[in-house]
A and B are shown apart, each in its own frame.
Chain A
Amino acid sequence: MTNTTYSYQLQPAKIRYEFFRLLPISLFVVAFGMAFGLAAVQKGLEPMQAVLMSTTVFAGASQFATLDMWGSQVAVLPLIAVVFAINSRHLLMGASLYPMLKDVAPAKRYAMLLLLTDANWAVSAQEYQNGRRNLEVIVGGGFVLWLAWIVGTLLGVYFGRLLQDPQSLGLDMVLGCFLLAMALGGNKSPRVLVAWLVAGLSSLAAYYWLPPHTHVVVGALAGGVVGYFWLEAKPQ
């Protein structure tokens, strides 16, 4: 037994609420999943192997990138490097939730991180900027996003051809638009806007001049440095 108490108690009703709140965006994730399922079987994966990958990896961009490296053989070190580079943004996303996560018992903390992905993190991070603590969206929102990704992959491996050209419907932009809406819904003080400018320019520079897939982490850390040196004025 430990005498440490953890002050953040997850509320089941709020977890259910967040499940349904992210249900609409999850429908678009189903379409993404279909595109992945189709691409996976075209590369020679068995349908159930593609579904297994979506279930256990649950990180779309890295799964697509892996398919680009697929052949009769797959080189291990480049596979690890690409998956790590693309998903390294999770390191920063997890770290940014730490002020809330430290108040959750470790078993629950690490269990809920299994469901950490861009969309539910973006909601939680935006609410935290606006002074609300919401880890329920990581659990409830993450769960619906995870189900959608699995169901989408399953549909894609069997019926993917029905969704011939997801780009013509703009479906490839869903996540980008969602993340942009979350960014603009957050705090926009001069300090944050300067951080965004630095982050945007750094990520572009990294995109063009540094190894592939490093631009998100480079841009985010550069934006963070602005915050390190420019503290928010304390409200009087």
Chain B
Amino acid sequence: MTIDASGAGILLIIAIMTLVTLLTRYGGVLAMSFVRISPRIESFINTMASSVLIAIIVPMAVQGDAGALAALVATAVVMLALRKPLPAIAAGLVAAAGVRYFL
């Protein structure tokens, strides 16, 4: 099944993408409304929440270029030292741009 990527076809593609994405935004919350939140479930979703971040970042660091790795290392160091996100992110961007300029 294919859709022509022209005119109304593109609008249909965008509509499908919108619906599927909306399903992901609503689905988890809707499912949780049927679950009784025991301390164990609460503990599960709390560790899952911070694990989402790690699961996004680790493959980014491992398969990215040297600039990507430098950015994440610089962000981690500055964040642990200063505990302020904006300087940490700025350090990350400078590290990525610097490494990519010189390599």
Contacts and interface: CB of A to CB of B under 8 A. Distances in A.
Interface of A: 24-25, 44-46, 49, 52-53, 56-59, 62-63, 66, 70-77, 79-80, 83-84, 87-99, 101-102, 109-110, 113-114, 116, 118, 122, 125-126, 128-129, 167-174, 176-187, 191-192, 195-196, 198-200, 202-204, 207, 215-228, 230-232
Counting chain B CB atoms within 10 Å of each CB, which of A170, A184, A187, A202 scores highest? A170
Interface size grouping (class) on chain B: 35 or more
A53 B18 CA distance: 8
Contacts of B85: 178, 181-182, 185
Contact of B25 (A53, A70, A90, A170): A90
A129 B52 CA distance: 14
A203 B55 contact: yes
22 contacts: A49-B10, A80-B20, A84-B23, A92-B28, A94-B28, A95-B45, A96-B28, A99-B37, A110-B26, A113-B25, A128-B46, A168-B97, A173-B71, A179-B56, A180-B53, A180-B57, A180-B76, A180-B79, A185-B79, A198-B51, A204-B62, A224-B48
